[in-house]
Chain A
Amino acid sequence: MELSKQYQTENQTGTLPKKGFDFKDFFQLITQSKSVLIGGAFVLVVVICAIFAPVISTHDPYEMNMSERLLTPMEDGHILGTDQYGRDLFSRIIYGARVSLEVGLVSVVLAMVIGVTLGLVSGYYGGWVDTLIMRVVDIFLSFPVLLLAIALVAALGPGIENVILALGFVYWTNYARIVRANVLAIKEEEYIQAAKTIGSNDFRIIFLNILPNCLAPIVVVATLGLGTAIVSEATLSFLGLGIQPPESSWGWTLAFGMKFIREAPHLSVYPGLAIMFTVLGFNLLGDGIRDLTDSKLKRN
């Protein structure tokens, strides 16, 4: 290895290392990765749409106009056409970003918090704790995911908050299993032993020494999970368990558009594109962030 490093002359300035967060460094880091730039841009567009929906949208998304039903894109000033009730599709998609983002992000965070914590505990302590948690995971996995979500929403009552709760509660098992598997390997590493010898307690070892080492798979599962959550919300809404009309989400619009797939394919295509665009953005962003935060790939 770089033996010569040891013989390099000593720097006599005696300065302390730079501290903390540096915006310039951060910006430089981001621009190193194309996927962070592209993914970030995608996500940014979606977030801006969600926040500034009233400004961006051209029509009232809830206003029906039977004389303008099923217009094709660019007809009569409707950028993406209208749906079966004559509502402006573009405006509905812009407003739908709010619901879809909320459902996607919050349910993923919820699932992540539950799953990662239980996975860490399960993998680190092993024994009966591990057995107990993993059997619970098995029970969850033995149900078809959507059926379980439907049952939960049915029990809690329809509504967007309950959909979020249900999705978070259904998808946590992915995180728990992946994190546990990683912890099993990482906890045997010598640096964990070393952490014990300097007197770290279990909490410190689990959250400060083990968790950062399994971030990469967590980020991957989370970015993929985001797409799944958005689509699952669509399914639940389609069954009347999610958002309630006249509100709209992408999934809901897409699902209802399917009825008119021959006459007006744009009704399903554009919400679908919006979902794809968002999920792609988050995936690219997640991948890029993982690469950038991987200390092994860091350049000097």
Chain B
Amino acid sequence: MNSNILEVKNLKTTFSSRKASFNAVDGISFHVAKGETLGIVGESGCGKSVTSLSIMGLVKPPGKVSGDQIDFNGVNLLNLPKREMRNLRGNKISMIFQEPMTSLNPVYSVGEQIGETLKIHKKLKGEERKRKVVDLLKQVGIPRADEIYDNYPHQLSGGMRQRVMIAMAMACDPQLIIADEPTTALDVTIQAQILELMKDLQSKKGMSMILITHDLGVVSEVCDRLIVMYAGKIVETGPVKEVLNNPSHPYTKGLLASLPKKGHKEKRLHFIPGQVPAPANWGKGCRFSDRCPYTMSQCETSLPPLMKAGEAQESACWLIPDEEGSTHNGFIEATR
């Protein structure tokens, strides 16, 4: 046995129409260790959310998930029957969404909605269920939990609703929580509270978490390890500190450089020119090549695999020095 709760190998999520098919997620592999928080960052449309839906088995047709394995606690989710997959969802793996405004059903009180998870998986009834729900509401820091139980989603603020979503996700003490941009829709002070709460609950219950975001600030605060995705591929991965302090892929560098800095004097913020290419335009080479400032002829002809770029850091760029040290390292240093 290993200490990884989730091991994804060569995951591919394909969307096909009659004319064409493309891989929104194109052969990515990663793992999540027990109690660890893994961050997945990248621009819109690079496959972050599709990755999470693939793990949950919720990719809608015509999307298709294939690949070698999605191993969750020794069970391969890729060929799990629907019914067993449903038993896992909400019970062992649960999810927190981006929009607390729309991810709660408007016709049920929040108490009933949290209770739903307990009804499905733990078969809790009546008083016992209510007691547990009120308890959960208290755990996520909702004041007057017994009154809020009967409130409807529209009566709560965004932050409160996100707390309710978290309570729903935590209801059955899952082993893995996938949070898909949980703080994007909230204002900054509430963001901090929600992140604090998630971190706190995670360490109390020893859960693992995948945090999908495009906010590098959030990543540096919450995550242990980081995956940077670009156009369906992982371009860089490693411990958060290493990656953020010493980014090796030009895309990661670009993302970091785009963050506004304290005492920033220049008039314009840094940005990466161009946009994420549509899957139809993915060439043979590196998918970042048309936006990369360091593009070489090699980049346009062959796709770089993930290569060791530090102690635990890997990066998919031809500029990374190989084992013998025949490198472009100097080049990177010079252009940094």
Please give the residue numbers on chain A whose beta carbons come within 8 Å of chain B beta carbons, in ascending order. 1-3, 5-11, 13-19, 189-191, 193-201, 204, 209, 212-213, 295-296, 298, 300
Stretch in B24-32, B156-164, B323-331 touching the partner: B156-164
The complex places the Cα of A78 from the Cα of B99 at a distance, in Å, of 67
A197 touching B106 in the complex, CB below 8 Å, given contacts A16-B131, A16-B146? no
Query: Once the chains bind, are B144 and A198 in contact (CB under 8 Å)?
Result: no
Residues of chain B within 8 A of A300, CB atoms compared: 155
The complex places the Cα of A93 from the Cα of B145 at a distance, in Å, of 55
- For window 107-142 of chain B, which residues contact chain A by CB distance below 8 Å? 107-108, 111, 116-117, 120-121, 126-127, 130-131, 134
Residues of chain B within 8 A of A10, CB atoms compared: 143-144
The A contact surface, by secondary structure, is loop
Residues of chain A within 8 A of B44, CB atoms compared: none
Query: Once the chains bind, are A193 and B58 in contact (CB under 8 Å)?
Result: yes
Which of A14, A191, A201 has its CB near the most chain B CB atoms (within 10 A)? A191
Residues of chain A within 8 A of B145, CB atoms compared: 11
Residues of chain A within 8 A of B155, CB atoms compared: 300
Query: Once the chains bind, are B105 and A199 in contact (CB under 8 Å)?
Result: no
Binary flags per residue of B36-74, CB closer than 8 Å to A gives 1, else 0:
000000000000000000001010000000000000000
Which of A7, A9, A194, A300 has its CB near the most chain B CB atoms (within 10 A)? A194
B252 to chain A, nearest CB (A): 30
Inter-chain contact count A-B, CB under 8 Å? Answer: 115
Partner of B134, one of A7, A16, A201, A212: A16
Stretch in B82-90, B203-211, B294-302 touching the partner: B82-90
Whether a CB of chain A sits under 8 angstroms from the CB of B147 is: yes
Residues of chain B within 8 A of A198, CB atoms compared: 89-90, 94, 116-117, 120, 168, 171
B165 to chain A, nearest CB (A): 8
The complex places the Cα of A298 from the Cα of B153 at a distance, in Å, of 12
Q: Which residue of B lies closest to A186 (CB)?
A: B105
Q: Told that A5-B156, A17-B134 touch, could you supply 13 new A-B pairs with CB distance under 8 A? A: A5-B143, A10-B143, A14-B146, A17-B150, A191-B106, A195-B105, A198-B171, A199-B88, A200-B90, A213-B107, A295-B106, A295-B107, A296-B106
Whether a CB of chain A sits under 8 angstroms from the CB of B288 is: no
Residues of chain A within 8 A of B91, CB atoms compared: 199
The complex places the Cα of A199 from the Cα of B82 at a distance, in Å, of 10
Whether a CB of chain A sits under 8 angstroms from the CB of B149 is: yes
Whether a CB of chain A sits under 8 angstroms from the CB of B246 is: no
B75 to chain A, nearest CB (A): 15
Interface size for B (C-beta < 8 A) is 48
Residues of chain A within 8 A of B107, CB atoms compared: 212-213, 295
Whether a CB of chain A sits under 8 angstroms from the CB of B95 is: yes
Partner of B143, one of A8, A18, A189, A212: A8
- Selected A-B contacts with CB under 8 Å, 11 pairs: A5-B160, A6-B160, A8-B144, A17-B111, A19-B126, A194-B95, A194-B103, A196-B56, A198-B89, A199-B91, A296-B154
Which of A6, A190, A199, A296 has its CB near the most chain B CB atoms (within 10 A)? A199
Partner of A209, one of B105, B121, B130, B158: B105
The complex places the Cα of A211 from the Cα of B88 at a distance, in Å, of 25
Q: Which residue of B lies closest to A2 (CB)?
A: B157
A190 touching B134 in the complex, CB below 8 Å, given contacts A3-B157, A197-B94, A199-B120? no
Query: Once the chains bind, are A19 and B130 in contact (CB under 8 Å)?
Result: yes
A199 touching B121 in the complex, CB below 8 Å, given contacts A2-B157, A3-B157? yes
Q: Which residue of A lies closest to B86 (CB)?
A: A199
The complex places the Cα of A189 from the Cα of B120 at a distance, in Å, of 21
Residues of chain A within 8 A of B168, CB atoms compared: 194, 198
Partner of A190, one of B97, B116, B159: B97
Query: Once the chains bind, are A199 and B146 in contact (CB under 8 Å)?
Result: no
Residues of chain B within 8 A of A13, CB atoms compared: 146
Query: Once the chains bind, are B157 and A11 in contact (CB under 8 Å)?
Result: no
A17 touching B149 in the complex, CB below 8 Å, given contacts A11-B143, A199-B86, A199-B88? yes
The complex places the Cα of A209 from the Cα of B120 at a distance, in Å, of 14
Query: Once the chains bind, are B102 and A11 in contact (CB under 8 Å)?
Result: no
Q: Which residue of A lies closest to B144 (CB)?
A: A11
Q: Which residue of A lies closest to B120 (CB)?
A: A199
A194 touching B104 in the complex, CB below 8 Å, given contacts A8-B144, A11-B144, A16-B131? yes
Query: Once the chains bind, are B159 and A194 in contact (CB under 8 Å)?
Result: no
Query: Once the chains bind, are B89 and A199 in contact (CB under 8 Å)?
Result: yes
Residues of chain B within 8 A of A196, CB atoms compared: 56, 58, 89
Query: Once the chains bind, are A3 and B159 in contact (CB under 8 Å)?
Result: yes
Partner of A193, one of B103, B106, B152: B103
B18 to chain A, nearest CB (A): 15
Residues of chain B within 8 A of A1, CB atoms compared: 157-158
Binary flags per residue of B290-333, CB closer than 8 Å to A gives 1, else 0:
00000000000000000000000000000000000000000000
Residues of chain A within 8 A of B120, CB atoms compared: 198-200, 204
B68 to chain A, nearest CB (A): 24
Query: Once the chains bind, are A191 and B146 in contact (CB under 8 Å)?
Result: no
Residues of chain A within 8 A of B158, CB atoms compared: 1
